[in-house]
Every structure is written in C-alpha cells, then in structure tokens.
Structure 1
Amino acid sequence: MSDTTQSRSLQISPKYTVAFWRGLELDPENPKQEEWEKAVDVLRDRIQGRFIKPAQTLIDVDKVNKPQTFGFAVLSLDCLVLETIQGFREGVHNHQGHSKRLFNAFLSTWQPFLDCLEAGMVPDDKAVEFYKQGRCALHHSGATERMTVGISGPMMKFDNGDITVNRTLFHTELVAEFDRYLTALSDPASVDLRKKFLLKMHPICGL
C-alpha cells in the first residue's frame, strides 16, 4: 500500500483508519499499555464490525422471523472469524495455502469443539472434516453435502461422516474465544502473542 493521503484514510475497521494504526507506538518488548489497549480495540472493532455483528444480526432477526435460520450465512461468517483468529495468533498475514492448517490448529485445541467429540474420535481428523464440509464447501460452492446447520442440539455432532452444527452455540462459543484472545493480547506479559499480532496487522496497514 503506497503512503498516500487516500491510503492513510483507508478504514481498517468501522471506527479506525490506517493513519490511526500507524500513529500507535507498539513495542512488545517495551510496551506502552495505553497504546496496546488502543491496538486491541482496533482488532476488536475490525472483527466485530466485519463479521461478528453481521452474524449476530442474522441470529437476532431469526428470533422474530422464524422459521428462517440463516444457518449457512452465519456459519460462513464464523468460519472467517475462526481462521482469522488463528492467523493473528500465529502471525500469518497471507492465508493462501495455510487455511487447512489454521483450522486444524484452532479446532483441535478448542475445548468447546473437543467436548463435542465422542470417545475414539481423533480431534485432527474431525477438524479436517469440519474444514472440508463447512469452510470449503460453503466458501467455494455455497452448499454442503454432509453438513446440516440448525438451531438445536449440541454445538456440533459427528455421525458416520455427517456433521450437524448448532449455529447459535457455535457463534456464541466463537465470540467467547475471540474475547479470550483479546484479553490475552491485552496482557503485557504476552510478548510473543503481540509480536505475531503485529506480523499480521502491520501489512494490512502497509507497514
């Protein structure tokens, strides 16, 4: 991104611009906590404004507009959030060629996901199933073959190759995980996490 007036005024979230981000003093080794709190709020505003709030709006509309569940739309947005969180955790700016690994890394260590697995199920295997049936199927073809998305039952259930997802529980748990990540990022002791956060966020702002 060239350093022009237009590029500096580019919105990186509903409230913040490239110029605002470039004006922050963010050194993980010698942190100014007030500056880091601003940086965390930029990410919060970016992910909430672009993905979480739109998904929640669809969920809220459903409460007064039954029986429409908007399940695939909600899950598609949440898959973007899931991969984005892991990308920030690892400092991966360009996700091309990394999506499958990022999904696996997130899901295979995410307790709400692990709680959905029955005895003998391998977390890595089920994470790949969800990646293929959910993220890839929805994002590439707008349809799923062996996944059902609804508003009842457990967050996720695997049954002989079929997957059932409760989009409301999935969204709720994912938002909670995003909040936990922001809390960790706000901790001055999270030096490595902050370094990786900058590896992803700086290129977005042309740094």
Structure 2
Amino acid sequence: MPFKISKKYFNDKWTDLGLTEDNGDNWAEGILIIKDRFDSPFFNHLDNIKNDEFSGFVIMSIDCLLIETLMQFYLGVDNTEINYSGENWKAFRDFLKQSSHFNTYFKTNKICNVFYQQFRCGLLHQAQTKQKSLIKVCQPDFVILADTTNVDKGLIIDRIQFHQNLVLEFEEYIEKLKTNETNFKGENLRLKAITKMDLICAE
C-alpha cells in the first residue's frame, strides 16, 4: 500500500520513475521528490522558527540530523553505521572537511570530533551542549574556540551562519544531481541517491 515519503509524494511515485544514472527525462521529477523529502519535514519548518530567540537547540539538533542524512544520500546507505562501523563521528568529519561551506573552520579531525561529541551527541542524547560549547547568534565567525588554548573545551557556533551554510550545501547537492556529478569518493551521486531512496520507499 502506498505511503507518504514527503508532503507532496507517495513512495510509489519514486519507484514508478525507474531511475537509472542517465535517464535524464525522469531525473527532473526524481530531484523534485528528493528535494521535497528534505524541505517538507525539515527545511521549511526551520525557516518558520529561525528568527525565534530560543530556537537554537532545535535548529542545531535538526541540522545535525540533516548532516547525517545527507551523508547517507552521498554514500547510498540506510544508516551511518554501515560505512563507519560504530565510529559515527567520522561521518561528520568527512562531511565537515569535504564541504566547501564548512571546511574553512573544520580543518582537523579534532575539531570535527569535538563538534560531534559536544553538539551532535550532547543535543540529541542530553538536550544540551557539552563542556563549554555554546550556540549563539550574530558573532563574526560562525565557529570559534571556547578556549583558544584547548579545542577540547568546546566550540561557540553561530547557529544562523551554520544553518545557512547547511542550506547552501544541500542546494549544491541538488545541483550536482542535476548535472550528474560524483561524491567526495568519486562515486556517482545519482546512483547513491537511487539506493538511498529505494531503501526509504521500501520501508
């Protein structure tokens, strides 16, 4: 029985497209489905609350979820464990260091791991950031060290700039699907998207 995978689409709409890497006529519709899969449950709602003074925890929590989900689309996997064997922080490392929208600030494995532990895990498991990490708005750089002598003490992140950069990353992903490009491993993004969406639509 068909079920909804986004606000506009049921799962059979995707499966009926019968997508392959190069059947371009159907890819325009396929990309709209993928975009709505992200927009309707996530990005659209975040737009509605982004100006609320106390929305930082919600926005950063969902941004972390979106990073992990985008990585699953990039790699064509059902869950992050498949590629990272219990070291899920490495998925965030690969995302943050490979993205042109984040890698200016996330240059080292250490800073990526601090983000994963103190933001992703802190927010999703304990509803708080850890150590001295903070979520702020209106700071000049979107990531600064809480203690300039010790990255382990935490990060101070401007959640508006962080989210804007994540939106740019997603928009870039959509454009790469349109032009049939590869991921950071040199693997075809359309084929990976087909694998991920087939898993979603088969559930």
Question: How many residues matched?
Answer: 188
What does 1:164-203 align with in structure 2 at a 5 Å threshold? 164-188=156-180, 190=182, 192-203=188-199
Per the TM alignment, residue 149 of structure 1 is displaced from its structure 2 partner at its CA by 0.6
Letter in 2 for 1:180: E
Gaps of 5+ in 2: none
Per the TM alignment, residue 53 of structure 1 is displaced from its structure 2 partner at its CA by 1.6
What does 1:103-182 align with in structure 2 at a 5 Å threshold? 103-116=92-105, 123-145=108-130, 146-153=132-139, 154-158=141-145, 159=147, 160=150, 161-182=153-174
What does 1:56-67 align with in structure 2 at a 5 Å threshold? 56-60=47-51, 62=52
Q: 2: CA distance between counterparts of 1:142 and 1:12?
A: 27
- Describe the SS at the equivalent of 2:188: helix
Letter in 1 for 2:198: H
1:36-91 per-residue CA deviation (whole Å, 9 max, x = no partner) reads 1111111111111111122221113x2xxxxx231111100111111111111111
What does 1:7-46 align with in structure 2 at a 5 Å threshold? 8=2, 10-28=3-21, 31-46=22-37
| Alignment check: 8 A CA contact 1:52 1:77 kept | no
Letter in 2 for 1:187: T
Per the TM alignment, residue 181 of structure 1 is displaced from its structure 2 partner at its CA by 0.5
- How well do the aligned residues superpose, as a CA RMSD in angstroms? 1.8
For 2:201, the equivalent position in structure 1 comes to 205
Q: 2: CA distance between counterparts of 1:50 and 1:150?
A: 24
| Alignment check: 8 A CA contact 2:180 2:189 kept | no
Identity %: 29
Q: TM-score, length-normalised on structure 2?
A: 0.85
| Alignment check: 8 A CA contact 2:180 2:188 kept | no
1:50 is aligned to 2:37: no
- Describe the SS at the equivalent of 2:167: helix
1:133-173 per-residue CA deviation (whole Å, 9 max, x = no partner) reads 11111001111123211112111112332211111111111
What does 1:88-99 align with in structure 2 at a 5 Å threshold? 88-96=73-81, 97=86, 99=88
Q: 2: CA distance between counterparts of 1:27 and 1:112?
A: 29
Per the TM alignment, residue 98 of structure 1 is displaced from its structure 2 partner at its CA by 5.8
Q: TM-score, length-normalised on structure 1?
A: 0.84
Moved more, 179-188 or 154-163: 154-163
Per the TM alignment, residue 203 of structure 1 is displaced from its structure 2 partner at its CA by 1.0
Per the TM alignment, residue 189 of structure 1 is displaced from its structure 2 partner at its CA by 5.3
